Amino acid sequence: MKSTRMRKTQRKLVSNKKKSGMNAFDMKLNSFLTRLFKLDERLSQDFSLCATPDSRLGYLRPLMKLLEISCHGIPWLLGTVIIFVCVHKPEDVEILVNLFFVLIFDLICVGLVKILVRRERPAINKMDMFATVSIDLFSFPSGHTTRAAMLAWFFTDKIFTSYISSYAVVVWAIAVACSRVLLGRHHVSDVAAGFLMGLLEYYVYLKMWVPREMCLEWLEPYFGHVHL
């Protein structure tokens, strides 16, 4: 009987040690995440230099908004469709079909993450963005940044052949990403995660790339007399 009680007591002690160890780890993890979250909030606040016309760099706000529009989803989708109607070469059809699909893929990925995370935008943000929908109320990740990073890789990989053009589109993508924080639209972590997510999106899409023959086969009933 005594040995049985001793074994039970030892098991309880071991169990209590494990629980206390786990609780200590959870407390440290929560403390670390809280400090990280506060740092993100503080940096986002400090770098929102164009959030309003009265901000420290408020005179640059029109330029930041121009960068914002330059990476908006609607102009990119409409522009892709318009250019597609005008092209005649099979290789152009392949590029434009895949550009359209990767833009849609980006919208789906960003929308799903925004719905799951549901992080609010910075308090300093002024909701005067061009053509927004309800999901744009959420901040994580930055959709403009995912699109900019994805498009930069797309263009340098599939379209541009000169270093100057490649560098230019990369600089544009970085400028778009920076403008999201400067305008107070997003937290720093939203933009950092968005840039990585955009690169990952393109990497994944490359596995699903629609080859030229399939693009022409799909479009033959409609545009065969133009493109072939």
Mean pLDDT, range 197-201, rounded to an integer = 97
Residue 186 designated active-site: yes
pLDDT in tens, 163-187: 999 999 999 999 999 999 999 999 9
Residue 225 designated active-site: no
Confidence of residue 227 (pLDDT cuts 50, 70, 90): very low
Confidence of residue 67 (pLDDT cuts 50, 70, 90): very high
The single residue of 88, 186, 187, 225 carrying the catalytic annotation is 186
Q: Is the dihedral of CA 148, 154, 159, 160 positive or negative?
A: positive
State the Cα–Cα distance between residues 143 and 190, nearest whole angstrom.
9
pLDDT in tens, 106-143: 999 999 999 999 988 888 888 777 666 677 788 899 99
In contact, 93 and 208? CB cutoff 8 Å: no
The single residue of 72, 144, 187, 225 carrying the catalytic annotation is 144
State the Cα–Cα distance between residues 207 and 100, nearest whole angstrom.
16
Task: Quote the pLDDT of residue 2.
Answer: 47
Task: Quote the pLDDT of residue 20.
Answer: 56
State the Cα–Cα distance between residues 153 and 174, nearest whole angstrom.
12
Confidence of residue 225 (pLDDT cuts 50, 70, 90): low
